[in-house]
Homo-oligomer: A and B are copies of this chain.
Amino acid sequence: MSEGERLTELAKRRGFYFPAAGAYGGAAGFWTYGPQGAALKSNVEDAWRDRFVVREGHQEISAPDVMPEPVFEASGHLDGFDDMIIECAECGATHRADHLVEDNTDIEEAESLPNEEVMDIIADHDIACPSCHASLAGEPVDNFNLMFETNIGPGTSSPGYLRPETAQGIFVEFPQLSEYARNQLPFGVAQIGKAYRNEISPRKSLVRVREFTQAELEHFVDPEEDEPPLSEVEDVILPLYSAESQQADDGGVEHLTVGEAVADGVVTSDWVAYYLGVAKGWYERIGVDMDRFRFRQHLPGELAHYASDCWDAEAEIDGDWIEITGFAYRGDYDLEKHAEHSGEDFTVFKQYDEPVTVERPTVDPDMSYLGPEFGGDAQTVADALEALAERNPEAFDGDEVTVEVDGDSFTVPVAETNFSVEEVTENGEHVRPHVVEPSFGVGRLVYTVLAHAYTEDEVDGEERTYLDLPPEQAPTTVGVFPLMDKDGMADYAREIAGALREAGHSVTYDDSGAIGRRYRRQDEIGTPYCVTVDYESLEEDTVTLRERDSTDQKRVSIDGLAETLERLTEGETTFDAL
């Protein structure tokens, strides 16, 4: 069994995740998180909120999943958020055409090729339908928009879409959010929520799904003035797989500190470098194995047209590298698009320390001259004169001025333009912020953390499976068992479980089956500690405390048990030191 397969088996059996609506055969790409998975996911989200929102001083919002069409006209998703689809004429199955090419030829990144070329390659290689094995040669390759469409209200006059990324819920509200930040840059707005992509071929359990959770931060910065606090992370070592390395025959991952990566120009955006440094420590905290982790730079062909530098955090599972986060410097692309489409102001007014007096050249062309002279072109000429005055006031220094409109030249006496230079006092300027975006896929993080935590060993001659999850992330921090359900042991154990719960621990009480089986059950869901109440407990008020990874056991006092567990889970002491 592959790593992914045995994880999927454990995930279903122990309540981490399983295909949704299985009673009806399910729908590919939709997963339900069971009790353990929902708790783990929630713990990952809390850790993210703690690090990327609270500690960074950002704010969190919650926007709707369904958004009206104009939002996606502006964002570009309506026109450009497509995958290449090919339909089998024989069986009707649909496939991602670029994936077929990648799976059946040596070509990589087929996504960046034109549809016609992909169609030709499929014909040349006589690639067959993976479902029925009929030839796909000659079948058209089309664009398929990945957004789920619906209608808002009765009828079809108001199309709506399930957001394909949580980010748009932040961008579109920038004018309002900027007010909450009192129009002071920089400020960051985060959101944890669902996003939806109608994938043609969902696969790899939680990796390519149709409904998923994103944790996105949009950090709005003044590109002229704001600098990230690089010093806080400059010594963090980053495993970097640069575009250059990827293109070189013998390239590999380089280990550079954040400081070095910036100084050497490997990471070109200081802001991106800052977040790579912050994120590195966070991945370690939630249990990503750093030996199976890298930051990979986007190749030039892969880079979104608006992004100047983009890095993915990738985790290795089953020999594949899976993107778990994208770090992008998006410039002012998003805010500019929404400003253009909505006609609203997506800027921040930056007040100067002191008012500034500037010279502003203006024209006020005499239309009673331009009209008779240029007829239907008069207004266009007037507009061109205005633009020229702003751009190049020196052009008005002579007696005549010439403007070009659609290839034609028009010459006008300067006197008829009423050119003048006014002195204007300005208190500030409108700045369109740039956006730095770390965008995390929560399901993929959960999947990675589980895959990297999955461990098999041998205990007392028997094979054992356990998850070595960090205590902070584990769905349950302590399992409490009575050795047997008699002589008051169960009542005492329930009382201890209640007290530990009161103290803030996540507790499971279990009194069913042999004690060894109960330990295994907790091992498989990654519970770091178990407490067993036995006959000695009744007499001496002590319990057996057992550590997951070593399976070592110690007798500890019930008095102070909650604090002992707290110090253990927070890393303030070790089991050996007890």
Contacts and interface: CB of A to CB of B under 8 A. Distances in A.
Interface of A: 12, 15, 18, 20-35, 37-39, 41, 54, 59-68, 70-71, 74, 85, 87, 94, 144, 148-155, 158, 160, 162, 169, 172-173, 175-177, 180, 182, 189, 194, 196, 198, 200, 210-211, 338, 341-342, 344, 501, 512
Given A66-B148, A67-B20, A68-B21, A173 B60 contact: no
Given A20-B64, A21-B172, A211-B66, A153 B198 contact: yes
Contacts of A176: 12, 18, 22, 32, 34
Contacts of A34: 61, 176-177, 180
A196 to B, nearest CB: 7
A89 B211 CA distance: 39
A35 B59 contact: yes
A211 B64 contact: yes
Contact of A65 (B65, B70, B200, B341): B65
A150 B152 contact: no
Interface centre among A31, A66, A67, A144 (most CB of B within 10 A): A66
A65 B152 contact: no
A64 B152 CA distance: 20
Contacts of A200: 153-154
Query: Could you say how many copies of this chain the assembly holds?
Result: 2
A394 B68 CA distance: 68
B94 A27 contact: no
Contact of A24 (B37, B70, B148, B180): B70
B180 A22 contact: no
Contact of A15 (B160, B180, B344): B180
Given A21-B67, A27-B67, A38-B62, A150 B153 contact: no
B162 A66 contact: yes
Nearest to A27: B68
Which 3 residue pairs are nearest across A and B when measured between Cβ atoms? A35-B59, A23-B342, A24-B70
Contacts of A20: 63-64, 67, 169, 172-173
Contacts of A512: 182
Contacts of A23: 172-173, 175, 338, 342, 344
Nearest to A87: B154
Nearest to A200: B154
Given A32-B169, A60-B38, A63-B32, A160 B68 contact: no
Given A15-B180, A62-B33, A152 B27 contact: yes
Given A26-B68, A32-B61, 12 more contacts: A15-B180, A18-B173, A20-B67, A21-B172, A23-B172, A24-B68, A31-B64, A32-B176, A41-B62, A65-B194, A94-B153, A153-B200
Contacts of A31: 64
A196 B66 contact: yes
Contacts of A194: 65, 194
A222 B162 CA distance: 39
A498 B150 CA distance: 45
A384 B200 CA distance: 50
A61 B34 CA distance: 5
Contacts of A189: 35
Contacts of A65: 65, 194, 211
A194 B18 CA distance: 20
B33 A61 contact: yes
A26 B169 CA distance: 12
